[in-house]
Amino acid sequence: MTFDLEFFNIGYLDTLSYRNSFVHRLDPRIKIIVSFIFVLFVVSFPKYEISSLIPFFFYPVFLLTAGNIPLKAIAKKVFFISPFAVFIGIFNPLIDTGTLYTVFGVPVSGGWLSFLSILIKYVLTVSTALLLIAVTSFPGICEALERLKLPKVFVIQLLFLYRYLFVLLEESLRMMRARDARSFGNRGKEIKTFVRLISVLLIRSIERAEMIYRAMLSRGFRGEIRVLRRHRINVYDILFLMISVTVFYLFRSFHLVNLLGETFSRVLR
Amino acid sequence: MHMADALLSPAVGGAMWAGSLGTIIYCAKKLRDKMDDKMIPLMGILGAFIFAGQMINFTIPVTGSSGHIGGGMILTILLGPYAAFIVIASVLVIQALFFADGGLLALGANIWNMGIYPAFIAYPLIYKSIVRKNSSNTAITIASVLSVVIGLQLGALSVVLETKSSGITELPLDTFLLLMQPIHLAIGLIEGFVTAGIVIYVRSLRPDIVENLEGVKTLSAGVSLKKVIIALGVLAVITGGALSWFASTHPDGLEWSIEKIYGKPEIPDKADSIKEAIGKLQEKTVILPDYSFPAKEGQEEKTPSWPAVDTGTSFSGLLGGIMVLSLVILFGLGIRFMSKYRAKT
């Protein structure tokens, strides 16, 4: 049941997001914006680029270590989730076979380079997305979205979705357990049974929504929920934004890896 | 299939984000005008239901492997296009953050690919035109299968076009299509039958749910097709623009490598690379230099920003790469150490 475990990892990321550290305390708006800019910078590299991407590992590593997030939690997700990018990228070495490079006498084709580049970009962008949620609580994200002027309906039902996610997950786990207890091997997993199970789950969910709505009405709900605003942008936030964007820009425009490499190989000579 | 950041270019990813964000705002406006308060908890719960439902697996008839639902069409049938689009977007937000499906930039593309087609194409044009209030089960089945299949085909086609116009993959368009479309046809057929099964079964148990909700979403009838078509047109132009832009700055992989192998005057001696770097500084003061429009014919040969692909630099490149990587690791260990040290004191 690896799939279930994957799902329950949500709970784990959720607990991580309530830790207290410098990056946890940053304003969620700033973290979202910086992470988005980071991804834009990373994907802006042309397809054969490898070495210039390496300095960009600074950002995820910073979030990971400053946020005191266990490396294993993130690495496992990055490497074991079947990535579409890898599936598509693997065709590059087969098609693009012209030699671009010779490393210690071994010819390297353009396809392998672009594949490697896709892999690096994949690791960078995916780990950043995971780390963003590991250092920012989900209500924090919702608060940021609301203050970034996304529609209220969107933000409020996103909060609802998240709140009831765990409740409904348990409900469906109970149903699965009941099904497994009544069936052997693959029996009980036919489409027909599945359709009925999921329909029942759907009906229960809708009934629950009706109950929640009544409960909300009796507590004075009038079509609007005020999202708690906990954060305020302070000096640290501004500094974090400015420094990280400047650093990304420098990494993007100066070939740090080559400069270092050349200087050192000259020293070695 | 979730699109990934690593396959997107900033232009394509940005265009898709603009399209999806615009649609979310448009849907929210539509909802605000006519919505029953009841919809807010319902939307949230149905979003959570999609996750919970995806936990329950079933055996796929022919292959015997295990599958789970996607759920976009079910949401649209129950909630109507506007609310459903918002819920689908929220489900994808959570998937992008917690499951690392895709990533932050690709989220825009994913919302577009999996939201627009079921909600604004398949539902109003196909499902609504077949299913009426007291339609037979057969009609529901035909409508669901058709609309899910068409929705998924369009979604898969968009994935192909987005990837192609980002210029990262070497896959030729036809092979790529052959890879994507048939798989999604199979997925679509199964998903379509499951969707029909759910609608029919829920209707037999609680007819009021299917019909009542029809009442809630009064707005569903008049999806303004004109706006959808205009949005699609704008997107096509943007993507097309991005595509040609890329075609000009980055010749495709094979051409490029041939160009490199069969002499073109190579970049001058590496000895004065620093000087060259300074010389390039001016060029680099533009944000994302590779994405500026190609200026002159002569300059274009220099623009592919991959510097100096000759064997001499490969060594220093490797060395530099290892050094930077170790710096990153040291940096990380340093922060870890510092925070532990601080925790102790």
pLDDT digits (tens, 9 = 90+) for B44-53: 999 999 988 8
Predicted confidence (pLDDT) at residue B268 exceeds the cutoff of 50: no
**A75-to-A128, B3, B105 alpha-carbon distances in Å:** 11, 20, 20
Q: What pLDDT was estimated at residue B236?
A: 57
Among A14-28, B69-83, B311-325, which stretch is predicted with the lowest mean pLDDT?
Answer: B311-325
**Mean of the per-residue pLDDT values of chain B:** 74
Residue B267 contacts A, CB cutoff 8 Å: no
Q: What pLDDT was estimated at residue A82?
A: 59
Residue B320 contacts A, CB cutoff 8 Å: yes
Predicted confidence (pLDDT) at residue B288 exceeds the cutoff of 70: no
Mean pLDDT of B259-283: 44
- Six token digits for residue B24: 């979310």
Interface of A with B in 57-76 (CB under 8 A): 57-58, 61-62, 64-66, 68
State the ipTM, two decimals.
0.89
**Mean of the per-residue pLDDT values of chain A:** 85
Cβ-based contacts of A114 with chain B (< 8 Å): 168, 170, 253
Mean pLDDT of B196-219: 73
Higher pLDDT, A240 or B40: A240
Read off the pLDDT band of B241 (50, 70, 90): low
Please give the span between the terminal C-alpha atoms of chain A, in angstroms, as a whole number: 56
* Residue pair B181/B157 in contact by the 8 Å Cβ criterion: yes
Read off the pLDDT band of B293 (50, 70, 90): very low
A133 closest CB neighbour out of B57, B98, B257 = B98
Cβ-based contacts of A33 with chain B (< 8 Å): none
For B204, name the nearest residue in chain A, comparing CA atoms only.
A199
pLDDT digits (tens, 9 = 90+) for B3-13: 888 888 998 99
- Six token digits for residue B104: 């932050």
Distance CA B300, CA A69 (A): 45
Read off the pLDDT band of B34 (50, 70, 90): confident
Distance CA B157, CA B151 (A): 10
Taking only the tens of pLDDT, chain A with its 269 residues reads: 445 555 556 778 888 888 888 999 999 999 999 999 999 999 998 888 888 899 999 999 999 999 999 998 888 888 766 567 777 888 888 887 777 776 666 777 888 888 888 889 999 999 999 999 999 999 999 999 999 999 988 998 899 899 888 889 888 888 888 888 888 877 778 888 889 999 999 999 999 988 998 998 898 887 777 777 778 889 999 999 999 999 999 988 888 787 888 888 788 77
pTM for the model: 0.80
A125 closest CB neighbour out of B5, B98, B315 = B5
Residue B115: exposed, middle, or buried by beta-carbon count in 10 A (0-12, 13-18, 19+)? buried
Residue A81 contacts B, CB cutoff 8 Å: yes
Architecture, CATH, for domain B5-249: Orthogonal Bundle (1.10)
Please indicate whether, in this complex, the C-beta atoms of A50 and B313 are within 8 angstroms of each other.
Answer: no
Q: What pLDDT was estimated at residue B152?
A: 92
- DSSP β-ladder status, B58-59 and A106-109: unpaired
Residue A49 contacts B, CB cutoff 8 Å: yes
Q: What is the dihedral of CA B332, B334, B336, B338, to 10 degrees?
A: -150
Domain extent listing, chain A: 2-136+232-257, 150-218
Cβ-based contacts of A141 with chain B (< 8 Å): 97
Please indicate whether, in this complex, the C-beta atoms of A95 and B91 are within 8 angstroms of each other.
Answer: no
Q: What is the dihedral of CA A119, A125, A127, A129, to 10 degrees?
A: -150
Interface of B with A in 56-95 (CB under 8 A): 56-59, 61, 64, 66, 68-69, 74, 86-87, 89-91, 93-94
B42 closest CB neighbour out of A133, A206, A264 = A206
Distance CA B147, CA B128 (A): 10
Distance CA B123, CA B116 (A): 10
Higher pLDDT, A97 or B250: A97
Write the DSSP assignment of B130-145 as a string of letters.
H--TT--HHHHHHHHH
Q: Which of A55, A150, A200, A197 has the alpha carbon at shortest distance from B326?
A: A55
Mean pLDDT of B136-162: 92
Residue A8 contacts B, CB cutoff 8 Å: no
Read off the pLDDT band of B245 (50, 70, 90): very low
Residue count of chain B, please give it: 345
Q: Which residue shows structure tokens 């690096």? A: A120
Distance CA B233, CA B239 (A): 10
Domain extent listing, chain B: 5-249, 308-345
Q: Which residue of A10, A68, A76, A88 to mutate against B (max B Cβ within 10 Å)? A: A88
* Residue pair A134/B293 in contact by the 8 Å Cβ criterion: no
Interface of A with B in 178-207 (CB under 8 A): 186, 189-199, 201-203, 205-206
Quick one: what percent of chain A has pLDDT higher than 70? 92
| Residues contacting residue B160 through CB under 8 Å, at least 6 positions apart | B173, B176, B177, B180
pLDDT digits (tens, 9 = 90+) for B276-287: 554 454 444 443
Residue A44 contacts B, CB cutoff 8 Å: yes
Read off the pLDDT band of B105 (50, 70, 90): very high
Q: What pLDDT was estimated at residue B111?
A: 94
Predicted confidence (pLDDT) at residue B81 exceeds the cutoff of 70: yes
Residue A148 contacts B, CB cutoff 8 Å: no
Residue B131: exposed, middle, or buried by beta-carbon count in 10 A (0-12, 13-18, 19+)? buried
- Six token digits for residue A248: 């990304």
Q: Which residue of B170, B178, B328, B337 to mutate against A (max A Cβ within 10 Å)? A: B170
Q: What pLDDT was estimated at residue A38?
A: 95
